[in-house]
Structure 1
Amino acid sequence: MSPAADHGEIEQLTLELLDRYEEINLLYDIGQALAGVFDVDAIGRAVVDRAMAVIHAEAGLFLLVEGETARVAYRAGDVPAPLLAGLTPGADLLRRALAAPVLIMQPLLAVRVQHGATPFGVLALAGKRDTSAFTASDGRLLQALAEQAATAIRTEHLVRELRESERIRSEMEIARQLQRSLLPQSSPRILGVDVAATCQPSGHVGGDYFDFFSLPDGRFGVVIADVSGHGVSSAIVMAGLRSTIHAEVQSGFDPAQVFRRANTLLARDFAASGMFVSAFLAVYEPATGELAYTNAGHPPPYLLAAPSDEAERLEAGGLLLGVVADAAYETGKARLDPGAVLVLYTDGLTEARAPNGEFFGEAALARVVREGHALSATGLHSTVLGAASTHLGGREPDDDVTLIVVSRRG
């Protein structure tokens, strides 16, 4: 290959890397801006302003679609009248924008804002300041912003629906609905790994939360958390935490970086409430079995390689989230080797009280995990919960009980 061809390939690779770097920075920025925002117009303003700045557009708008109606939630710059007319209910341009993930019709760039099968609207830019054409790279950037906006709008809808129903439902029922809506509906499927997970709510609503997520590089993540307090307030903090983590993990930062940013936002937004969060976040690399994790004051998960081994407690991390704005967090390393079991839980499990007041405790949990090491993830999960239930002796638990078992097949 000629030197000129080599130089051309290097230039192309450099441009691609710069595009990716720009997208990551944009996701950081918008993730921070949208965390804890529960107003659709404010979401539209944040997304349009950043899109125009990064893509160098003359004008932009966020069109909110609700059923058969549509309204401009935010507009900046001089959007041409024909484009505005085309983005009205029944217009062909709006139909096309909602039908395609990305629509480029110079001088228009539009992307669909959608969560699952539910379309929320259209994010559109009109004209570039240097009069050049919109590119596929511009479309990818705008689509990444639209995905963040969709997550924020989905959270806003949940909070708004719950606030509206507060007139006719008790606070606890509202909180239960929000808590359930934030939890995954099923365990993820990961090659070579079995996962079993549940959150058993107590009679009063606590703040237990867990979730799974996939990273663009093929890694798999899990988070478990316990928000202080009960009722709607803890459920709303949980929603804010979920939104923050989902925005941050897409950036590719390590767990400690994610928790540093989440802690700053929680300390800023919820300091007056006096609420805090214990949480554990881990990212698993399927090819190597490596776990990168950080623990923010949460009960340390058990990692047991074999019944004869000493269980490893995953403790590296830092303070509870939301207590000190500039708290430091470290990332710990561990390995989930073939045959190993990882058990994550909230303190509602170990603090389950027998009729005589005795806690189930860490020692009993460690013993049950060791004895059930050879079971499947589902089998060990059921065994642990069964042991805790027996210990309760017919009593209702005082707190939510969340348990996640991850086993790597040998």
Structure 2
Amino acid sequence: MSAIIEHSTSVVPGDGKLEILLIEDDPGDAFLFEELLGEELPDARIVQARTLREARERLRPGIHCAVVDLSLPDAEGLDLLRAVLDMAPRSAVLVLTGRSDAAVGVAAVAAGAEDYLIKHEVDGPLLARAIRYALERKRAEDSERQLMEAELRSEENARIELGLLPVPLIDDPELQHHTRYRPGRERALLGGDFYDTVQTADGTVHLVIGDVCGHGPDEASLGVRLRMAWRTLVLAGHTGMDLLGTLDTVLGHERWSEEIFTTLSMVTIAPDRQRARFRMAGHPAPLLFGETTATALPDDAYGPALGLFPGSEWPAAEVELTGRWSLMLYTDGLIEGRVGGGPDRLGTEGLVEMASAARAQGLTGDLLIDHLVTAVEALNGEALTDDLAVVMLSGKAAR
């Protein structure tokens, strides 16, 4: 007859009872099993199944441990074990073998059982200890599996996010392109900031950098969509007000709330590399580096952020590029750090002063960007928490 003993438990974490499924067709062995456990684990609930078919009917998510005799009327050996493992992937499995079947027990552990015991050599303490060990080992295996699954998901997400960062479309060997990108979200690779660089067939180089308000995955997704829309529009021949107006429309359709807006700075560099036309939509002014100096582009090309006022206009301004020059576009994560632990922010003026000193030291390209980020963090007293993106393009004006 089937035997069921019901009690509460202190073996299994939480308020649930320790439930054990005994898969054993010998009534004498089943009775002995229950007697031994009754002394050592009086708060356990034991359910017996005489066949694999009965075990299939009685296995349920609440079963914490299955104790399996590998010789049943309708199944035996490792085939029986594999069937139980398939039916109860979240349960610990303990195998019972005869004296002459120790090798089978070892093979059972290799096949997925937590442990094995030899019948007629088992006493109460050994049986209780084996069950506890099997439960702990199963929990450890589940934790390791969940950790591996989390790591695989993290690696997959990392590949996806890295794949969404742009590859600049530039074929002018005289231009040097440098970027830095660091999201504010912990363990993320993509934030709401975005950037891109595209050279069109006539030799004109277009740069953009933008910042979607907010820091979550939704903002990151929107930033990617806006960047891709910008690249598509540029390659289709759209520029200036036409381009910004279309992006404003795209933002209106793609955002999930009317409160979402995007700041943006856009620069177009002439094929002769002697002029740069720029527009700013609520975004910090880019920096222009000369041989030994740094200046912010004038704010007379300033309009509202995208998504705020329908029908907005964004005036353009133009600067002359002479000699060897560099243009640096950045998001406000670089200038909103605090200065000296007080309430004051670095701001554009502070960044210009810092950048001028670095340029006077002869720093360029990656070294210049890294120096600025490190110096900003030092003033802030800790790592920057906002999304941060920097794009620097360097070249030489044609004579």
TM-score (norm 2): 0.53
Aligned to 1:359: 345
Aligned to 1:249: 234
Q: CA deviation at 1:305?
A: 3.3
Q: CA deviation at 1:258?
A: 0.6
* 1:290 is aligned to 2:278: no
Cα 1:231/1:271, change in 2 over 3 Å? closer
- Structure 2 counterpart of 1:404, one-letter code: V
User: Highest CA radius of gyration, 1 or 2?
Assistant: 2
Q: CA deviation at 1:346?
A: 0.7
Write the distance in 1 (CA, Å) between the matches of 2:314 and 2:376: 32
Residues 91-131 of structure 1 show CA distances to partners (whole Å, capped at 9, x for unaligned) of xxxxxxxxxxxxxxxxxxxxxxxxxxxxxxxxxxxxxxxxx
Contact 1:215/1:250 (CA < 8 Å) preserved in 2?
A: yes
Match of 1:326 among 304, 311, 321: 311
Cα 1:172/1:255, change in 2 over 3 Å? farther
Contact 1:279/1:295 (CA < 8 Å) preserved in 2?
A: yes
Write the distance in 1 (CA, Å) between the matches of 2:172 and 2:273: 14
Cα 1:208/1:172, change in 2 over 3 Å? farther
| Equivalent position SS for 1:372 | helix
- Structure 2 counterpart of 1:180, one-letter code: L
Q: CA deviation at 1:180?
A: 3.5
Cα 1:186/1:254, change in 2 over 3 Å? closer
**Structure 1 segments of 4+ aligned residues over 6 angstroms from their partners:** 171-177
- Structure 2 counterpart of 1:252, one-letter code: G
Match of 1:180 among 150, 162, 167: 162
Contact 2:176/2:394 (CA < 8 Å) preserved in 1?
A: yes
Aligned to 2:385: 398
Write the distance in 2 (CA, Å) between the matches of 1:391 and 1:408: 30
Residues 58-91 of structure 1 show CA distances to partners (whole Å, capped at 9, x for unaligned) of xxxxxxxxxxxxxxxxxxxxxxxxxxxxxxxxxx
Contact 2:287/2:294 (CA < 8 Å) preserved in 1?
A: no
Contact 2:285/2:348 (CA < 8 Å) preserved in 1?
A: no
Cα 1:336/1:195, change in 2 over 3 Å? farther
Contact 2:196/2:231 (CA < 8 Å) preserved in 1?
A: no
Write the distance in 1 (CA, Å) between the matches of 2:199 and 2:272: 14
- Structure 2 counterpart of 1:389, one-letter code: E
Aligned to 2:185: 203
Q: CA deviation at 1:224?
A: 0.5
| Equivalent position SS for 2:288 | strand
Write the distance in 1 (CA, Å) between the matches of 2:234 and 2:168: 20
Aligned to 1:380: 368
Q: CA deviation at 1:168?
A: 7.7
Cα 1:314/1:287, change in 2 over 3 Å? farther
Cα 1:348/1:176, change in 2 over 3 Å? farther
Aligned residues: percent identity? Answer: 24
Contact 2:339/2:345 (CA < 8 Å) preserved in 1?
A: yes
Contact 2:195/2:209 (CA < 8 Å) preserved in 1?
A: yes
Cα 1:174/1:281, change in 2 over 3 Å? farther
User: What residue ranges of structure 2 are gaps of 5+ in the alignment?
Assistant: 1-148
Question: Does 1 or 2 have the higher relative contact order (CA < 8 Å, sep 6+)?
Answer: 1
Cα 1:346/1:194, change in 2 over 3 Å? same
Write the distance in 2 (CA, Å) between the matches of 1:314 and 1:179: 33
| Equivalent position SS for 1:399 | coil
Write the distance in 1 (CA, Å) between the matches of 2:258 and 2:238: 29
Q: CA deviation at 1:360?
A: 3.2
* Range with bigger deviation, 334-343 or 228-237: 334-343
| Equivalent position SS for 2:389 | strand
Cα 1:310/1:224, change in 2 over 3 Å? closer
Cα 1:243/1:402, change in 2 over 3 Å? closer
Cα 1:309/1:274, change in 2 over 3 Å? closer
* Range with bigger deviation, 218-227 or 190-199: 190-199
* 1:263 is aligned to 2:245: no
Contact 2:182/2:388 (CA < 8 Å) preserved in 1?
A: yes
* 1:389 is aligned to 2:377: yes
Write the distance in 2 (CA, Å) between the matches of 1:174 and 1:267: 30
- Structure 1 counterpart of 2:390, one-letter code: L
Cα 1:308/1:328, change in 2 over 3 Å? closer
Cα 1:182/1:344, change in 2 over 3 Å? same
| Equivalent position SS for 1:326 | coil
Q: CA deviation at 1:292?
A: 2.1
Aligned to 1:76: none
Residues 286-334 of structure 1 show CA distances to partners (whole Å, capped at 9, x for unaligned) of 3242212211111111224354686433551421112223212223222
Cα 1:364/1:272, change in 2 over 3 Å? closer
User: What residue ranges of structure 1 are gaps of 5+ in the alignment?
Assistant: 1-166
Q: CA deviation at 1:266?
A: 1.3
Cα 1:172/1:259, change in 2 over 3 Å? farther
Aligned to 2:329: 344
Write the distance in 2 (CA, Å) between the matches of 1:321 and 1:180: 26
Cα 1:365/1:176, change in 2 over 3 Å? farther
Contact 1:219/1:284 (CA < 8 Å) preserved in 2?
A: yes
Contact 1:341/1:407 (CA < 8 Å) preserved in 2?
A: yes
Count of paired positions: 243
State the Cα RMSD in Å: 3.2
Write the distance in 1 (CA, Å) between the matches of 2:326 and 2:250: 33
Aligned to 1:191: 173
Match of 1:368 among 347, 354, 360: 354
Aligned to 2:122: none
